[in-house]
Amino acid sequence: MKKFVVYGAGEFADIVSDLIERVLQYTVEAYILDDEYINAVNKYNGKEVVPASMIKEKFSPLEYDVAIGFIGKDMFNSRKRVFDLLKCYGYKIDNLIHPSAIISTSNIGDGNIILENCVIGYNVKFGNGNIMWPLSSANHHNIVGNFNNFAPGASTSGGVIIGNHCFLGNNSTYNNKVTVSDYTFVGAGAYIAKNTESYGVYVPEKSIKINKTADEFY
């Protein structure tokens, strides 16, 4: 049986741990945090919390796999930093794929976390360290780079290129063959009809409250 340590502690670490243990039936042995975040408790979910400087000493890459259990709010640069560090140490960073996901390609990198009812379509090239939240999809002939976050319900059309370190908001949609450039942030409900600019932020018009009450409608 595979044994994992999870790098991170918090809500996303809980989701990753649940996927590892309850769904995939592996074990989580401990949690890893950057040294500056270690506190006096040194326990998370009843398991040991180990400083990152001791990871190789305590958990040999020959015996343990590592899952990255944090998202990173710096457009996922910190995920890349940890991914590269773990690879340098010799750890295997498996893809963690919920069994309800539909995967129609074998061209997938390492360290992707793919949650419930996601779709990766035919002839998709899918990189490293991506997160796909429930009901998101990368459809046929997409090229998806590294360290992107597909929020719930984000859906691409055919031939879309997603760069690196992009955030695709809840229920955002993408026209055929558009390119989403590196470090693009797309807000919830947006429709991307044309190529984006690197570091661009794309949001739809906001919902407004009108001068009627709900029972006048329903």
Residues in a beta bridge with 138: 120
Quickly tell me which residue has 């773990």 as its tokens. 86
User: Which residue in the list 98, 140, 141, 165 is annotated as catalytic?
Assistant: 140
**What is the Cα–Cα distance from 25 to 35, expressed in whole angstroms?**
29
Instruction: List, in order, residues 6 or more apart from 149 with CB less than 8 Å away.
Output: 71, 76, 130, 131, 133, 166, 167, 168
Beta strand 47-51 pairing with 43-44 = antiparallel
Decide if 181 contacts 196 (C-beta within 8 A).
Answer: yes
Active site residue 98: no
Instruction: List, in order, residues 6 or more apart from 28 with CB less than 8 Å away.
Output: 4, 5, 6, 17, 20, 21, 45, 47
| Residues that are catalytic | 140
